[in-house]
Amino acid sequence: MKMSLTAGLVMGALVAFSASHHAAADELRGTGDMGLVVERATGSLLVVENTTRTQLARVEGLGDLSHASIVYSRDARYGYVFGRDGGLTKVDLLTAKIDARVIQAGNAIGGAISQDGRLVAVSNYEPGGVKVFDAKTLKLVADIPTGSKTVGLVDAPGNRFVFSLYDEGAIWVADMSDPHTPKITKFENVGTQPYDGLISPDGRYYIAGLFGEDGMVMLDLWNIDKGPVRILDGYGRGEEKLPVYKMPHLEGWAMANGMAFVPAIGHHEVLVVDTTTWKEVARIPSHGQPVFVMAQPDGRQVWVNFAYPLNDTIQVIDTQTQKIIKTLTPGKGVLHMEFTPRGEDVWMSVRDLDLIKVFDTATFEQLAELPGLKPSGIFFTWRSGRIGL
């Protein structure tokens, strides 16, 4: 279905399904193919499903959703939305309603759900620290002050949360096996200004980016006694050659085929890093400064979007040949991508067109487009079953 892209028509279509969703909410349905799309400007979410590629409903009243991210309950029914304004909102995908909402800090940056699904944690800028909530009720379970802006919060096996302290140059690991009394292991002096973190898909390696230095720091959670080690010297901010429009989120690291595909900072390049040695082995010239470098679930291809002003383009890299095999131009403001669980389709937000476009990952054909209001992050419920997502 092609739609006219005027805002009026888009709004009309959305209001229509918004009014009708309450009838549908009584129907039983599986939740494995559902998802939420962040509409940043309006503080709303679209509820979508990726089998027939449709919107089901809109949820409003989410507050400031810039840089918002979402994790899912273990039954794949509820999304936990982490807003920049410190709002933590539990959204019911089946009824398209807010189930619970708390303003838990003045300024927050991301969160995570524990391995067993019982706890949701948020990392905060203002005041710094991590707060941990009961996933069912959003009641506060534990407060972990850090005396620092806190960033790069992820879940790890063993019901642990791992996060970094920007002002302190530290990484903390919180074991939440007893939720009311977190056991915290602290690593000091890991490097200057860790600004974001990621965990490998198996939950073994925690990697933090350093804003103040060239290089990154890695903690092997299987061998935590060895402490953090420096990796990728030369990767970072110090020696920048081009203006950096946006520090790439570390979520934008793809691990595939024994390699990590990593956005170069300030360069029009994707770096290829051997995940055995953590050394750079190749650089792939790209259309612009990469923002998200995302691997298909099968690891066969990675898809890259770019920073402003080159953000109308997507490039696809073959992980075997490490060559760009396709360039697409979905439109201005391609902000995020998300694959269907087994990777046959990829969804992308095209903010300035008020559209979400769906492409076939094998043929690169556009399969569908859905209206959305300045869409940004797309998060499907398959994340519910994955470590670190």
Which residues of this protein are in contact with a copy of itself, per CB under 8 A? Answer: 25-26, 28-34, 49-51, 72-78, 93-95, 115-117, 155, 157-159, 177, 202-204, 222-223, 296-300, 320, 340-345, 362, 381-382, 384-387
Query: Please, which residue, 177 or 189, has the CB nearer to a copy of itself?
Result: 177
Minimum Å gap between C-beta 34 and a copy of itself is 8
Query: Please, which residue, 157 or 215, has the CB nearer to a copy of itself?
Result: 157
Query: Please, which residue, 145 or 258, has the CB nearer to a copy of itself?
Result: 258
Q: How crowded is the C-beta side of 311, counted as CA atoms within 13 Å?
A: 20
Q: Confirm if 112 and 121 have CB atoms less than 8 A apart.
A: yes
Query: Please, which residue, 75 or 239, has the CB nearer to a copy of itself?
Result: 75
Minimum Å gap between C-beta 76 and a copy of itself is 3
Q: Confirm if 173 and 121 have CB atoms less than 8 A apart.
A: no
3-state SS class at 20: helix
3-state SS class at 313: coil
Using CA atoms, how far apart are residues 297 and 226, in angstroms rounded to an integer?
31
Minimum Å gap between C-beta 279 and a copy of itself is 17
Query: Please, which residue, 125 or 347, has the CB nearer to a copy of itself?
Result: 347
Minimum Å gap between C-beta 53 and a copy of itself is 11
Minimum Å gap between C-beta 217 and a copy of itself is 21
115 membership: H or E segment, kind and range = none
Query: Please, which residue, 7 or 362, has the CB nearer to a copy of itself?
Result: 362
Q: Confirm if 98 and 79 have CB atoms less than 8 A apart.
A: no
Minimum Å gap between C-beta 74 and a copy of itself is 5
Minimum Å gap between C-beta 37 and a copy of itself is 18
Task: Outline where DSSP puts E strands in 264-354.
Answer: 269-274, 279-285, 290-295, 301-306, 314-318, 323-328, 334-339, 345-350
Q: Confirm if 143 and 123 have CB atoms less than 8 A apart.
A: no
Minimum Å gap between C-beta 193 and a copy of itself is 29
Q: Confirm if 85 and 107 have CB atoms less than 8 A apart.
A: yes
- Evaluate the omega torsion of the peptide bond into residue 127 and state whether it is cis, within 30 degrees of 0: yes
Tell me how far the alpha carbon of residue 128 is from its chain's centroid: 21
Query: Please, which residue, 214 or 220, has the CB nearer to a copy of itself?
Result: 220
Q: Confirm if 271 and 228 have CB atoms less than 8 A apart.
A: no
Using CA atoms, how far apart are residues 234 and 143, in angstroms rounded to an integer?
36
The 8-class DSSP code of residue 224 comes to: G
Minimum Å gap between C-beta 130 and a copy of itself is 19
Residue 97's φ and ψ, nearest 5 degrees, are -130, 155
Query: Please, which residue, 214 or 298, has the CB nearer to a copy of itself?
Result: 298
Using CA atoms, how far apart are residues 226 and 206, in angstroms rounded to an integer?
13
Query: Please, which residue, 212 or 299, has the CB nearer to a copy of itself?
Result: 299
